[in-house]
Amino acid sequence: MSHINFKPGTLLSPTAVVMVSCAGENTKPNIITLAWVGTVNSDPPMVSISIRPQRYSYDVIRESGEFVVNLVSREMMKACDFCGVRSGRDVDKFLETGLDAVSAQGMSAAPAILQSPAYLACKVKNMADLGSHTMYLGEIVGMGIREDLVDKKGKIDFVKADLVAYCHGEYVGLTKPEGFFGFSIARPEVLMRRLKRKQHT
Amino acid sequence: MSHINFKPGTLLSPTAVVMVSCAGENTKPNIITLAWVGTVNSDPPMVSISIRPQRYSYDVIRESGEFVVNLVSREMMKACDFCGVRSGRDVDKFLETGLDAVSAQGMSAAPAILQSPAYLACKVKNMADLGSHTMYLGEIVGMGIREDLVDKKGKIDFVKADLVAYCHGEYVGLTKPEGFFGFSIARPEVLMRRLKRKQHT
């Protein structure tokens, strides 16, 4: 077994695929689908999104200084793809997809997507031109989870959220959890408890 | 249906989970597992990784100016978790996990992991202290794909790679592809061709 050399490329997989919503004072709400996204800091919580300057949302976010990262469920997959291949210059993406724009915690204009399992509302803290893309660093200032995904104790049901990942040009679903952070060194009683919980849900 | 407000946090899901390998002139090879990782640019291809300054690999990467992002298969999941919860100060992670360090294209010292489905060898271009974490921006200068995952035409078999994602503290597997970039607006004949190919593999 060994590795074959390939030309360097954007092979990191899987990645999240998210629908980023934005709006401006005089700009109607728009959605852009992005896979070039990641968590970059825990405290304060921050994400990076990278956008080509040619894209319609690039200027909207630069001028408004805010954006909302909406997680994508399998049910939203076709709308998600549509918002990645069409431009807000030509179509009203909320209208075309039937998704609903709702107000997002902490945002002046950028809406969240009602149907999304969860949204992260971000204020732009920094931006950097890296070549083909500009990276926006956003601090998460508001967060919403769809009410049907939260139990009485405030625990989020990620299995029910049915999220989608992106894998080198293809959309994939997720299996049920197969391990948890720390499981490799967990004591037998912890493993038993966590496994039992998994079987009951 | 509506969203419940939550305290802002690092909820972006799913994310990749990768094993980052590094080494220095006088430092033995080490592995750190990270989920705070993302593609940030296409041309040149670049990734971001975020590490707490307290971590052992933080200094190794700062001093060597290079790191290798190794994708993680389901088979490597337990080793991947182990490298996230143990420190290179205390254990030799290659020795403990049984994984093999092999030379990576374009790197002076940082190795790749032989068993990994694919690796991205990166040179540090920039770093930024964001609070709890420091974000390293790396340009991908070398890339290797495990030979058993590449067919005669150079196409990569991502289903066989059996990659793992991270979802808010839990490791999950991936389903087979359920859509491809552009499928929402693809012509019927393209959809047919792509679907047929899926059934044959």
Instruction: Classify residue A8: in a domain, yes or no.
Output: no
Tokens 């949204």, residue? A119
Rg (chain A; Cα; Å)? 18
For residues B137 and B45, give the distance between their C-alpha atoms in angstroms, rounded to a whole number: 11
pLDDT in tens, A86-117: 999 999 999 999 999 999 999 999 999 999 99
Question: What is the per-residue pLDDT for A201?
Answer: 46
Instruction: Classify residue B2: in a domain, yes or no.
Output: no
> Does the model's pTM come out above 0.90?
yes
Q: Judged by CB atoms within 8 Å, which residues 115-174 of A form the interface with B?
A: 115, 118-120, 126, 128, 130-133, 135, 137, 139-148, 150, 156, 158, 161, 163-165, 167-174
Number of domains in chain B: 1
On average, the pLDDT of chain A sits at 95
Instruction: Classify residue B4: in a domain, yes or no.
Output: no
Instruction: Classify residue B49: in a domain, yes or no.
Output: yes
Instruction: Classify residue B8: in a domain, yes or no.
Output: no
* CA nearest to A101 within chain B: B2
Chain B contact present for A192, CB below 8 A: no
For residues A190 and A196, give the distance between their C-alpha atoms in angstroms, rounded to a whole number: 10
- Integer angstrom CA distances of residue A167 from A79, A138, A144: 18, 24, 26
Least Cα separation, residue B27 to chain A (angstroms): 24
Which candidate, A166, A150, A97, A194, places its Cα nearest to that of B11? Answer: A150
Chain A contact present for B91, CB below 8 A: no
Q: Which domain holds residue A190?
A: 15-200
Least Cα separation, residue A105 to chain B (angstroms): 7
ipTM reported for the complex, 2 dp? 0.95
Q: Which residues in chain A are closer than 8 Å to B105, comparing Cβ atoms?
A: 5
**Following CA atoms B33, B35, B39, B45 in sequence, which dihedral angle do they give, to the nearest 10 degrees?**
0
- Give residue A129's pLDDT band: very low, low, confident or very high (50, 70, 90): very high
Instruction: Classify residue B6: in a domain, yes or no.
Output: no
- Give residue A58's pLDDT band: very low, low, confident or very high (50, 70, 90): very high
pLDDT in tens, B116-131: 999 999 999 999 999 9
Instruction: Classify residue B3: in a domain, yes or no.
Output: no
Q: What CATH number is given to the structural domain containing B52?
A: 2.30.110.10
The strand pair at B111-113 and B170-180 is best described as: unpaired
pLDDT in tens, B144-164: 999 999 999 999 999 999 999
SS3 assignment for B72-84: CEHHHHHHHHHHH
Chain B contact present for A8, CB below 8 A: yes
